[in-house]
Structure 1
Amino acid sequence: MQLDKELRQLTKARTSQTQSYSEIYTPIVYRIGNQEDQSALLELLQVNPNIQVFDSIQNQLTDLIKGLNPTLVLSKEQISEKILEHLNGTEPEEYGVWIYYPWLEKLVHILDKDEFIMVRTNRNKHKITQLEQDQLMQKKIGVIGLSVGQSVSLTLAIERGCGELRIADFDHLDLTNLNRIRSGVQNIDLRKTVIVAREIAEIDPFLKVVCFHEGITEENIDAFLTENGKLDLLIDECDGIDIKILCRVKAKGHQIPVLMEASDRGTIDIERFDLQPDRPILHGYIEHLDISKVKHLKTNEEKIPYILPIAGVETLSTRMKASMIEIQQTITSWPQLASAVTYGGGITADLSRRILLQELSVSGRFFVDIEEIIADPPSDAPKPEMPKPEKGISFPEIRTLIAGTNIEKAKGAVALDETQLEQIMQTAQRASSAGNNQPWKWYYEQGTLFLFHDTERSFSFANHKNIVAYVGFGLALESLRLKADSLNLNLHEQLFPDPNIPTLIAALQFSAADQHQVKDTLAGLTGIRNTNRNQPKERKPVSTEILSTIKTETEQVSGAKIHFIEDENTIRKVADIMGEADKLRLYTPTGHHELFNLELRFTKEESERTGDGLDLESFGLTPGEAIGMRIAKDPEVLSLLKKWKMGTGLERLSKKSGIASSAIALITMPAHTSADFINGGRAVERMWLTANHAGIAIHPMTASILHFNILKYGEGLNQDSYLKDRFTELNGIFYDCFSTVDQKEEVSVFLCRLFYSEKEDAPSKRLPIDKIFIHA
């Protein structure tokens, strides 16, 4: 249906007429006892016959008389008599003022300024005494930012908490603002300053409002703070981090107190620069940062180091933290609710009054968290405890066990000298393990090196039937074999030499190599193996020749197979699975607990102190991703995201890493057995060293296949239908991508990305040798 031409013309004409009022926010005052004003008003009504007129002066005079005679209970007749007496011969139509609101096309008859204020504030008494009200009417308050700031400004105006209000915001009203800003749809696309100034004028046309339509800038900040009299209080509700810092630096210089309310958990910041002129801005939270750089920051990633200490990530509400994970995923910005904004306005107005009346002198950060103050009593149900491992094996226990073990002597076996033993153990110390948990203890006695499983260190949800630990043992054993080869030694290995000691993984002996013996092509390369989690600037393909060499070296281990994906679209599909699997891992309480409490090290100091785990800095996180990790540390956040079936932000890092791969490799073995997983680890070591030697970085990303194996061979996912169903679906997509894998004949052991990196990661810290090795 076509729009009627006349209708189109009329709507355009009326829109243009309305837009002519878009910058007007000051009403026109007519005192018709003045002949000039009377003539102007007459002309206005003649030219604009559509103007609506509201005359409630009689009602207002009634309230005035009651307020002037609080001790009397007056009848209607008595009130009428006193009104006539008060008018003193003036016609009611001429008494007071007529206020014209151009944007409303409404003319309103009200009492003049002094009587209007007296009647309008009458019900403030004696929460606010007349003396205090008079003092407040001499005060000037500035409000920067008019989302939360709109509620603050209107509450201040309603309470008449000041005599002058300066408001600043460069923005216009959007439809998305109407979830928290009290306004009408007719105001969409109007300046926020104009909307607020109009609303205040409609409440109290005598309250002085000064608008800074361009917002706050370096050029106008001093005028905002001091022009026509210095502000008595600055209220900061802006979003811009540069303006937050700038306005405080300037307010501190002028000794103006600053008040800020965040609409999450009723967070209040008070900075009394008037009483503490040397107080650091923002309570010193950003003292370690160079604030001169703030105005040059462009992206959110650049701003995050400044935003983070101001926001206080750890003190945000659970829902706000969860929502932040969803920014640029399912939402565009952080959420705010009308309820929080509204009571934030009330809290701020209350604090403003107390500060201006010198009833409050404190500085600091405070919380008025309604959800915390008014809440159901805590549940009596005990919180589920995370499963805990039994205490790991100790060296005295190892000595006792070895004393009762009869290990067959290998032909030609020799004792290692101190130098050889030291080099062998240095290689063992550097061995790779899942999450760098180093689940081993080594014991050397009478020419035999024993490898024991320290089960306490490998305890995890993903380590189903110890498969993750066994892969690590395979990596270590192959590394030792290659190191021995470089030292002209042969390694004789007995796996699980005593069925009565399940924690005894291997007994290793050494003999001198024949001088004509051909060394392994990877001998002497064990020191180059390195995990790299960086993102390459450019995705380069790996040549067929190099992939062929990697395949040859990997498959030297009996039963091992390696499968590559190089196609960019298929890599993207697998990267999506990698990302979602890492997220779903966090949706298991044990997986979340293990990652954040046992595996990750959030500071270098922590990494140095523990000598294990993964240093978060090695992940090459952007500031935004680092915040995401800190937020994800809260298990309640993960519980919410799982409930919402969201959390795609938790997938971003792994997806990004996967997509940046030159290739993705999957190593498989024939069976789901301890021996096959150890042999799979040997294959992984060979793949890793070959790739690193060719200049290709390796980044293990195994969460998906570990959970697929649990799905197939265990029951760990049966208690959670959502996780079970989702991993089942991902399993199907994954093996469609790796179509060369025969799922009946092959078991996935290791998944990683291959890529060319511009830089190397520092190796993860390792436990001191005396923590993992002892000899008789």
Structure 2
Amino acid sequence: MLTERLQFTKNLNELYVPSLFRLADSGDLKAFNELLANDSIMVFDEIYDQLRELIKSRNPKQKLTAADYELRIAQHIGSTPITEYGVWAYYPWSQRLVHILDKEEFIELRTSANKNKITIAERERLATKKVGVIGLSVGQSVSMTLALERGCGELRIADFDRLELNNMNRIRTGVHNLGLLKTYAVAREIAELDPYFKVVCFSEGITEANIHQFFTENGKLDLVIDECDGVNIKILCRIKARELNVPVLMEASDRGTLDVERFDLEPDRPIIHGWLEGLTLDFEIINKLKTAEEKLPYMLPISGLDTLSPRMKASMVEIEQTITTWPQLATAVTLGGALTADTCRRIFLDQFTNSGRYFIDLEELIPDTREKPVINYHIEEQPLTVDYMNELAAEATAGMQLHSELPERAVLMELLEAARQAPSAGNNQPWKWHLTNSCLFLFHDRIRSVTFGDFEDIASYVALGAAVENLELAAHKHHIGLDITPFPIDSKKLIAVIRFSKEATANGLYMPDELVKEIGNRFTNRNLGPRVALEADAITQLRAAVASIPGAELLLKEDEADMAELADIMSSSERLRMLHAEGHYEFYNKEVRWDDEHSRTTADGIDIGTLDVKPSEVVGLKLVKDPRVVALLAEWRGGKGLESIARKAIASASGIGLIVMPKYSPLDYFMGGRAVERMWLMASKLNVSMQPMLAAPLHFARLNHGNGEGLPDFMKEEFTELYKRFERVFPGLEGKGEIFLFRLCIAKTPSVKSYRLPLVNILTES
């Protein structure tokens, strides 16, 4: 029994046009009576009330009684029995038989409440118009609104998809329609509203083969509404619309975004407002675009990346992570239907002639006017004036034997040139060199480096140690000896006093004649490549370079399981860093540089071109540039998509290394920085590439040595669990300084390298 009923229902799924019976016609009368013989048919007859409303609408000045209505209805229908007056409409999919007024009277009465926002003359003009709708989410709302207002005389609707339960957050329909073609669902709903309204279904969607038919069969379209998902069809329909001088509307279900392209008035207008300039519009090529990566150059200008709402941007980051596609709300779809149908009507009535992209953003039009807290992440730091540095220098050298012989000016500049090539977190270059009393003083310019990520300046100490390593290597090359006194006084600003002598010594240096040659060759390599095992001899040499600094040790993981665990720990740390409001601010305002001009202008930071990321990943970074987006992702505990760059980097790594020192102290991090630079220069000599990945150890330091100060509770909890896992991969870390976490890889040399501040910016003298 169930199978039979299911088959019966399935047979009805292909029906969407009602049958109309005028009982004065003998054939219609016979078919009508045959229907009535079916006990399952439901009959609805409100013709008397329809006639009553028709008479009332035609006599707005008169107050008619029930007797008046009865008399006038009798006069109106004459000798025709009331059961035969008008039309009986049969809806086979619901087995409903409904008695209604005939077409002219039905339209007159149904649209009577439109007057005079739409006059009768305008209604008649609109009735001559043909509208095509491609895509039936917003398209369903547009189609229904056009039908409700009778904003056109014919709708051609195109969609190949069937109704699914997750469509029903925005498409008004019943659960009994699940599995039904969207075109048929819309056509049925319009037919139940107005059985005289012409609807033509293209249930295979729009294709290159049928698009001309869609635009021209039985009369050319007067306007097309694009609400489809496919990039190829969006472009194809505009090319055809421009060819035939048909205007195009598109509503985006976000911020009330409405696109208008008046190809009827501007036949040479470039499609998508010219924003696809430079991209091929050859449909054979466009139709072959399959991946998101290939479609991206087209989708960005179509969607308008910079004008998306924060929630839409945040949601796009979550696609294929916590959601399957971009979200659409019933409110946005309903608003979109209204905006599009209204604009369509005004175009047809010559009340609107513009092209462009428009926004009816309800959150801006009806704003929350409560004052929002303004957070200033700028940290005030005392500038390193010459007087201030002289004061600290004098304090540091009081009682110190100053037997310092400055090298020649050109040589000194060469030494400082080598020092400024040192690596630093985010390429922030936190050093300031000061010459006075024949001594060189290294200061920490905290204005350049103080950040949430640089907890207790530990990342800066590593960079400053690396700079001193380069300085001493370059000095040794010129047979100049250095007497280096780190942290001579209790100050966060003065890092080292350096005295010069003409008695060169390699005491404490490691392979200086070899490593000095690599200072100009060393670079951060974020390029990806195949995972290649490092040679045992290379690992031995890297370990030896690190161990040449007393107490320093290189912990290296190459095992597949360890690498997978570290990939999860390190990428999760990168995500949390980006979700932290202050970390996010620092990344976008202090670290990332979007192009070479930006990099050259600032001479610091990280050029996006060094990241070896796909265009789609650059888009992801731009999506989360808005702090409101990151706040939403943090609130949702989302943002897994922010892990992809780090995960890919680790997937292509030959190994993950961690340099540790015996203690967590400024001196250990400073000396650890020297160990980092020695190993990095050795890696350069061995043609092994390195990339720092510091989010994990820097935040672990804040967690373990600062009780997680400044971290939201959920981040503190996640970092706590991540550190437990980190300790299992690298056991025995308790009490040690976790100096530097990085990946080793074999990859091509990057085409883009980071800039450095000129010496004039980092050197003062008195």
2:485/2:497 contact within 8 Å kept: yes
Q: Render the CA deviation track for 1:474-528: whole Å, top value 9, x for unaligned.
A: 1111122223334444433222345579435332425354799985542322222
Aligned-residue offset at 1:274: 2.0
Deviates more, 1:619-628 or 1:48-57: 48-57
Superposed counterparts of 1:540-619, under 5 Å: 540-619=532-611
1:452/1:506 contact within 8 Å kept: no
Aligned mate of 1:392, from 383, 386, 389: 383
Distance across 1 between alignment mates of 2:653 and 2:499 = 37
1:717/1:723 contact within 8 Å kept: no
- Cross-structure match for 1:534: 527
2:251 aligned counterpart, secondary structure: strand
Distance across 2 between alignment mates of 1:323 and 1:514 = 60
1:92 aligned counterpart, secondary structure: coil
Q: Structure 1 pair 630/510, CA: closer, same or farther in 2 (3 Å)?
A: farther
Distance across 2 between alignment mates of 1:243 and 1:667 = 54
- Cross-structure match for 1:73: 63
Aligned-residue offset at 1:542: 1.8
- Cross-structure match for 1:158: 148
- Cross-structure match for 1:491: 482
- Cross-structure match for 2:717: 725
Deviates more, 1:625-634 or 1:655-664: 655-664
Q: What is the TM-score when the length of structure 1 is the normalising length?
A: 0.93
Gapped runs of 5+ residues in structure 1? 1-9
Distance across 2 between alignment mates of 1:773 and 1:388 = 23
- Cross-structure match for 1:4: none
Aligned-residue offset at 1:593: 1.2
2:502 aligned counterpart, secondary structure: strand
Letter matched to residue 281 of structure 2: I
1:410/1:492 contact within 8 Å kept: no
2:446/2:493 contact within 8 Å kept: no
- Cross-structure match for 1:39: 30
Aligned-residue offset at 1:310: 2.1
1:29 aligned counterpart, secondary structure: strand
2:402/2:499 contact within 8 Å kept: no
Letter matched to residue 310 of structure 1: I
- Cross-structure match for 2:637: 645
| Count of residues in correspondence between the two structures | 761
1:54/1:109 contact within 8 Å kept: yes
Distance across 2 between alignment mates of 1:389 and 1:755 = 39
Aligned mate of 2:450, from 459, 472, 476: 459
- Cross-structure match for 2:187: 197
Q: Render the CA deviation track for 1:97-119: whole Å, top value 9, x for unaligned.
A: 22222212222221111111111
Q: Structure 1 pair 92/558, CA: closer, same or farther in 2 (3 Å)?
A: same
Residue 726 of structure 2 is aligned to residue 712 of structure 1 = no
Letter matched to residue 121 of structure 1: T
Distance across 2 between alignment mates of 1:186 and 1:562 = 66
Q: Structure 1 pair 207/508, CA: closer, same or farther in 2 (3 Å)?
A: farther
Q: Render the CA deviation track for 1:167-207: whole Å, top value 9, x for unaligned.
A: 11121111211111111122222211111111111111111
1:528 aligned counterpart, secondary structure: coil
2:162 aligned counterpart, secondary structure: coil
Superposed counterparts of 1:81-480, under 5 Å: 81-292=71-282, 293-379=285-371, 382-394=373-385, 398=389, 406=397, 414-444=405-435, 448-480=439-471
Q: Render the CA deviation track for 1:429-474: whole Å, top value 9, x for unaligned.
A: 2211110001112234575433222110011112222211110011
Letter matched to residue 625 of structure 2: K
Distance across 2 between alignment mates of 1:170 and 1:268 = 24
Distance across 2 between alignment mates of 1:703 and 1:484 = 33
Letter matched to residue 715 of structure 2: L
Residue 648 of structure 2 is aligned to residue 656 of structure 1 = yes
- Cross-structure match for 2:734: 743
Q: Render the CA deviation track for 1:654-687: whole Å, top value 9, x for unaligned.
A: 2232233221111111112221111000111122
2:515/2:678 contact within 8 Å kept: yes
Deviates more, 1:762-771 or 1:594-603: 762-771
Q: Structure 1 pair 155/508, CA: closer, same or farther in 2 (3 Å)?
A: farther
2:669/2:737 contact within 8 Å kept: no
2:287 aligned counterpart, secondary structure: helix
Letter matched to residue 319 of structure 2: I
Aligned-residue offset at 1:374: 2.2
1:179 aligned counterpart, secondary structure: coil
Letter matched to residue 672 of structure 1: Y
1:265/1:367 contact within 8 Å kept: yes
Distance across 2 between alignment mates of 1:515 and 1:733 = 41
Gapped runs of 5+ residues in structure 2? none
1:497/1:507 contact within 8 Å kept: no
Q: Structure 1 pair 508/583, CA: closer, same or farther in 2 (3 Å)?
A: farther
Aligned-residue offset at 1:331: 0.6
2:443/2:494 contact within 8 Å kept: yes
Q: What is the TM-score when the length of structure 2 is the normalising length?
A: 0.94
Q: Structure 1 pair 718/234, CA: closer, same or farther in 2 (3 Å)?
A: closer
- Cross-structure match for 2:613: 621
Distance across 1 between alignment mates of 2:402 and 2:287 = 72
Q: Structure 1 pair 271/394, CA: closer, same or farther in 2 (3 Å)?
A: farther
Aligned mate of 2:5, from 14, 18, 25: 14
Letter matched to residue 260 of structure 1: M
2:482/2:498 contact within 8 Å kept: no
1:534/1:761 contact within 8 Å kept: no
1:269/1:366 contact within 8 Å kept: yes
Give the % identical residues. Answer: 46
Distance across 2 between alignment mates of 1:568 and 1:428 = 37
Aligned-residue offset at 1:270: 1.6
Q: Structure 1 pair 620/71, CA: closer, same or farther in 2 (3 Å)?
A: same
Distance across 2 between alignment mates of 1:688 and 1:760 = 16
1:390/1:456 contact within 8 Å kept: yes
2:294 aligned counterpart, secondary structure: helix
Q: Structure 1 pair 322/206, CA: closer, same or farther in 2 (3 Å)?
A: same
Letter matched to residue 563 of structure 1: L
Aligned-residue offset at 1:127: 1.6
Distance across 2 between alignment mates of 1:169 and 1:101 = 22
